[in-house]
Amino acid sequence: MANRSFSTLDRLLGEIDKAIKVLAAPAHANRSPVSAVGGELVLEEAERTQSGRLMRVNHAGEVAAQALYNGQALTARDPKIAAAMHRAAAEEMDHLAWCEQRLKELGARTSLLNPLWYAGSFAIGALAGAIGDRASLGFVAETEKQVEAHLRDHMERLPAADQRSRAIVEQMTHEEAMHGATATAMGADRLPFVLRSAMRLTSQIMTRGSLWL
């Protein structure tokens, strides 16, 4: 059977469907890093609030990750690069599900700004992919490097008693580092300092916005 050729409208509708699933449909994962942690420990109200805010930021980051990878896959020139982006997005979907479930357990909500984070990240990802595959891979490598540092900071800030959130963040940190290493191994270009700095600023804006909204 010949491969089906998708029109621009088909691809646009496909991306809208992906966005709706990320923003509105419950996320599901086939594995869980908290399975070995055991039951929930009693958290003080202040600890629960702190964990809820940090996990909301992490959830928003995973929403942005879905958009980035989907945008980059859409404009990738090499089918192998597009496939790698789709694989990474599928793996990141587990992270989204873990954060979403943890927020429910903590009685916290997701960020009200998630649609904005998705739209902006998709546009950035599509632009990165359009520039070129090596630049797009460089964007992944730098993004994952910054995300890894961000998650390590959260490990320091999460309450010691919140073992479930800590297990999630620890596993996410490990896998984000793997994604960055994979992008580097595939031939990622190192991004200019100015662009790396702009990415850090954008990340800070998203972090602060999601922490409260």
**Residue 15 neighbours by CB distance under 10 Å:** 17
- CA torsion, points 6, 141, 165, 52, in degrees to nearest 10? -70
- What confidence score (pLDDT) does residue 3 get? 53
pLDDT score of 103 more than 90 = yes
Residue that has been written with the tokens 């896959």 in this structure: 73
SS (H, E, C) the chain: CCCCCCCHHHHHHHHHHHHHHHHHCCCCCCCCCCCCCCCCCCCCHHHHHHHHHHHHHHHHHHHHHHHHHHHHHHHCCCHHHHHHHHHHHHHHHHHHHHHHHHHHHHCCCCCCCHHHHHHHHHHHHHHHHHHCHHHHHHHHHHHHHHHHHHHHHHHHHCCCCCHHHHHHHHHHHHHHHHHHHHHHHCCCCCCCHHHHHHHHHHHHHHHHHHHHC
* Residue 59 backbone dihedrals phi, psi, to 5 degrees: -65, -45
Rg (CA), the chain: 17
- What confidence score (pLDDT) does residue 2 get? 47
Read off the pLDDT band of 1 (50, 70, 90): very low
Read off the pLDDT band of 109 (50, 70, 90): very high
Distance, in Å, from the CA atom of 35 to the CA atom of 176, rounded to the nearest integer, reads 20
Distance, in Å, from the CA atom of 189 to the CA atom of 192, rounded to the nearest integer, reads 9
The full set of domain ranges for the chain reads 42-212
Mean pLDDT of the chain, nearest integer: 83
Per-residue pLDDT tens over the stretch 13-35: 777 777 777 777 677 887 888 77
Token reading at 145: 């490097």
Fold of domain 42-212: Ferritin (1.20.1260)
